[in-house]
A and B are shown apart, each in its own frame.
Chain A
């Protein structure tokens, strides 16, 4: 017995559409890694300076976009100053999408240039990270809008790694996630938190276990946790219903496949 591929895919699609149209608000257990991310940001004194790397593009947006939005809600709410950059080429296109959802001016009275700045895409991966942490002004002279960074109040006294109270990144790339550990933690001894896709958790979590990452937001589950903790429910909490439905269906498929295999094997023998 073999269920056709089309049937399985159609059932998966249905299992996604039902909770998407009709969110059920299924229970959620907040994981330790997301709780640690939240606590790390929460315990920073008001006005702390955070370096934030938006390192994902359109492919990662459904998984990482909601978590990034929740993260910024928490940071702006706490009155932190955020220096944003992108080590992913598409990060510059994610920035307006995310800011349209966070609305820092309306929601928190934050002002661009005073409370946050965006440098745009900086090529080079780890070289860019090392450059920003080493000497910002040697690498960046203007922000994404073309303003001289020395004219922005948020940049007053911010020159390099020692001036960042926290380094945060959310990325679809293992190299970028590990790069911030190597440059932010190992080279410059800064506290680092990271966000990644669920499928990357196995390779990034060891850095969390050793304390090199103080918090880890893993994929849509981590994003839903953060939305819950920051009390800003959004797409991730809805998506966790979808995840519950579709993954339960996958478990049923696995069970059906195995039962069919053993029945067939029993019949043959």
Chain B
């Protein structure tokens, strides 16, 4: 029996997947042109997903506020800022963001965003102090590698002793590069298998069902 809720999405996936593969491996104009249209649909759909995200944010945090859950006032601040940015953006800028919008962003969001990221430096310094201890042979290997990479990354040391730079490059090259390529090749093979399974309808997890 035909299950439209399952079979129609599978058919769409198959058709689009085949066109994508033919676009990549052939130079036949009809596939290239068709896939150009599909790519543009993809961009539009993902832009819509942003709007959907905003609606979802409103639902989740609106509920937190109405039920007065723990730290509900953070949700109130989040929604208030979201509406302020939306309203100011709509009023002051049609295409390019206006001066007021830029000021809001530069005075509030930019320093907050930068601070969030920069605060990592403090935790990483403390983490390095607490964790990087040569307790065992394996820990000593990790410790030595970490110390050499930190020295190689600290601008003053390679400038004074270029050997540290080359040691860091050697760690990043044959050791890290080799391991990472192994991982990426594994991921790549997995992606090909997943792609084939998805194309032939064996993988249906993306439909929200098993």
Contact = CB atoms under 8 A, between A and B. Distances in A.
A58 B113 contact: yes
B195 interface: no
Given A61-B113, A249-B125, A251-B150, A135 B156 contact: no
A27 B143 contact: no
Contacts, number: 174
Contacts of B113: 57-59, 61, 90
Nearest to A134: B36
A254 B147 contact: yes
Contacts of A60: 117
B150 A247 contact: yes
B42 to A, nearest CB: 4
Interface string A179-210: 00000000100000000001001110110010
A241 B159 CA distance: 12
Given A9-B126, A254-B147, A248 B156 contact: yes
A187 B156 contact: no
Most B CB within 10 A of own CB, among A27, A58, A244: A58
A128 B43 contact: yes
Contacts of A61: 110, 113-114
B73 to A, nearest CB: 23
A248 B154 contact: yes
Question: Main secondary structure on chain B at its contact with chain A?
Answer: helix
Interface string A242-269: 0110111111011011100100000000
Contact of A202 (B35, B106, B158, B172): B172
Contact of B37 (A28, A138, A249): A138
B8 interface: no
A12 B133 contact: no
Interface residues of A, number: 69
B40 interface: yes
Nearest to A15: B125
A134 B121 contact: no
B96 A145 contact: yes
Interface in B109-147: 109-114, 116-118, 121-122, 124-126, 128-130, 132-135, 143, 146-147
A96 B129 contact: no
A221 interface: yes
B28 to A, nearest CB: 14
B26 interface: no
Question: Main secondary structure on chain A at its contact with chain B?
Answer: helix
A205 B179 CA distance: 12
Contacts of A120: 95
A227 to B, nearest CB: 12
Most A CB within 10 A of own CB, among B50, B97, B112: B97
A8 to B, nearest CB: 5
B172 A29 contact: no
Interface in A1-24: 3, 5, 8-9, 12-13, 16
Contact of A244 (B132, B155, B169): B155
Given A26-B159, A28-B159, A247-B154, A12 B39 contact: no
A90 B109 CA distance: 10
B66 interface: no
A93 B154 contact: no
A16 to B, nearest CB: 8
Nearest to B48: A123
A243 B39 CA distance: 42
Nearest to A241: B155
A42 B46 CA distance: 36
Interface in A123-151: 123-125, 127-128, 130-131, 134-135, 138-139, 142, 144-146
Nearest to A239: B155
15 contacts: A13-B122, A27-B155, A90-B113, A97-B110, A123-B44, A123-B50, A124-B46, A131-B36, A198-B153, A202-B172, A244-B154, A247-B153, A248-B156, A253-B129, A254-B150
| 10 closest residue pairs by CB, A with B | A58-B113, A146-B95, A27-B159, A253-B129, A244-B156, A247-B154, A123-B47, A59-B117, A127-B42, A124-B43
